[in-house]
């Protein structure tokens, strides 16, 4: 297993639209395990393949308190069950150090493939529903900062660009 490098905003590769996975293979399962290790190491509650520069429709998350419930979604399809919006202070491993309030539907159904290529459907609410929508946004090249004002987004971009220059 390996901890992968996470792309950071405003890296243009985070804007790539991911392609569906046509066959779930051993290579897919290795990527899943590396993404879970990367997410737990961060630590984070969700990670999309886009963030590790793999442009396939795959995401992992674990919103449990004791980090004991890894979840894997391949080619996820979301249906909103309750359009009522809930607010949550979201963060992102690709936007380190920033948390901002975003509104999203509170209850969704998701159909996806699991790590064995079997299809499943489940209903999610609360943090799991929010996290799933945040991660599916990544697969579509979208970031939570896109929901903020231009001013806020530019402030975040400038700060992260400075951090990245100092590290380089």
Annotated catalytic, 135?
A: yes
Residue number with CB closer to Co ion (92 or 136)? 92
Cα separation, 57 vs 17, in Å, equals: 9
Q: Is 61 in the site for Co ion (CB under 5 A)?
A: no
Query: What's the min distance (Å) between Cβ of 14 and Co ion?
Result: 9
Active-site hit among 8, 90, 100, 135: 135
CA distances for 38 relative to 4, 5, 52, 79, 82, angstroms = 6, 8, 9, 28, 32
Number of neighbouring beta carbons within 10 Å of residue 83: 8
Cα separation, 86 vs 109, in Å, equals: 16
Cβ–Cβ < 8 Å for 60, 98: no
Residue number with CB closer to ligand QAP (115 or 159)? 159
Cα separation, 65 vs 80, in Å, equals: 25
Span of 11-19, 60-68, 70-78, 89-97 interacting with Co ion by CB under 5 A: 89-97
Residues that bind ligand QAP (CB under 6 A): 42, 44-46, 88, 90-93, 96-98, 130-131, 134
Q: Is 130 in the site for Co ion (CB under 5 A)?
A: no
Which one of Co ion, ligand QAP, none is in contact with 131 (Cβ closer than 5 to 8 A by kind)?
A: ligand QAP
Which one of ligand QAP, Co ion, none is in contact with 91 (Cβ closer than 5 to 8 A by kind)?
A: ligand QAP
Strand pairing class (100-113; 119-125): antiparallel
Q: Which residues contact Co ion (rule: CB under 5 A)?
A: 92
């Amino acid at each position: 297993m390996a901890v992968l490098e996470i792309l950071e905003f405003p890296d243009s590769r985070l804007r790539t639209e991911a392609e569906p996975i046509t066959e779930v293979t051993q290579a897919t399962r290795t990527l899943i395990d590396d993404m879970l290790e990367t997410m737990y190491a961060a630590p984070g509650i969700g990670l999309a393949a886009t963030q590790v520069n793999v442009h396939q429709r795959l995401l992992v998350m674990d919103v449990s308190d004791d980090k004991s419930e890894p979840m894997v979604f391949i080619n996820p399809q979301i249906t909103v069950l309750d359009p009522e919006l809930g607010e949550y202070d979201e963060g992102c491993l690709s936007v380190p150090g920033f948390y901002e309030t975003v509104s999203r539907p509170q209850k969704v159904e998701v159909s996806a493939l699991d790590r064995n290529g079997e299809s499943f459907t489940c209903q999610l609410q609360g943090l799991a529903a929010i996290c799933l929508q945040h991660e599916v946004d990544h697969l579509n090249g979208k970031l939570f900062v896109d929901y903020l004002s231009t001013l806020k987004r530019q402030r975040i971009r400038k700060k992260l660009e400075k951090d990245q220059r100092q590290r380089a």
